[in-house]
């Protein structure tokens, strides 16, 4: 059993895929099972949408990018339905995943989530803060 359970926001995955900063270091640690990373179908779907829309990746390229993630993340079926982030309701999917996986952390660069700092005992931090 893992002591540390984490949900990574879509923006952290995107940064880890394309650049070598803090998000890349976090994903590298996750691949070594230094902590457990949880993901939901909604997060996978958003990741695929962002790769297609913002990075002009086709379905095959998206599969090539996303499939390796499935080797180290743990899927959680989200049952919670919340409505907390009024400015960007899609961010609620991140909170739902964290709630249903009993995660202690959400790692994100999203200001809507970071404004909360804490939600039901889940710490919401930037990639740099998480690495500290």
Per the structure, the count of domains in the chain is 1
pTM: 0.94
Tokens at 76, concatenated: 């959680």
Q: Which domain holds residue 119?
A: 5-131
The H-or-E segment that residue 36 falls in is strand 36-39
Position 86 pLDDT exceeds 60:
yes
- Please tell me whether residue 124 adopts helix, strand or coil conformation: strand
CA 71 – CA 93 distance, rounded (Å): 21
Say which residue the tokens 């959680």 belong to.
Answer: 76
Q: What is the CATH number of the domain that holds 47?
A: 3.40.50.1010
pLDDT digits (tens, 9 = 90+) for 35-55: 999 999 999 999 999 999 999
């Amino acid at each position: 059993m893992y002591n540390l359970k984490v949900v990574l926001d879509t923006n952290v995955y995107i940064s880890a895929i394309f650049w070598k900063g803090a998000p890349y270091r976090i994903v590298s640690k996750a691949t070594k099972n230094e902590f457990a990373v949880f993901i939901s179908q909604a997060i996978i779907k958003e990741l695929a949408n962002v790769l297609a829309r913002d990075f002009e990746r086709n379905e095959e390229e998206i599969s090539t990018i996303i499939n390796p993630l499935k080797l180290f993340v743990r899927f959680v079926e989200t049952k919670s339905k919340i409505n907390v982030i009024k400015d960007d309701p899609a961010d609620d999917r991140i909170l739902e995943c964290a709630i249903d996986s009993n995660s202690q952390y959400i790692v994100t660069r999203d200001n809507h989530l970071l404004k909360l700092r804490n939600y039901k005992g889940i710490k919401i931090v930037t990639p740099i803060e998480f690495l500290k």
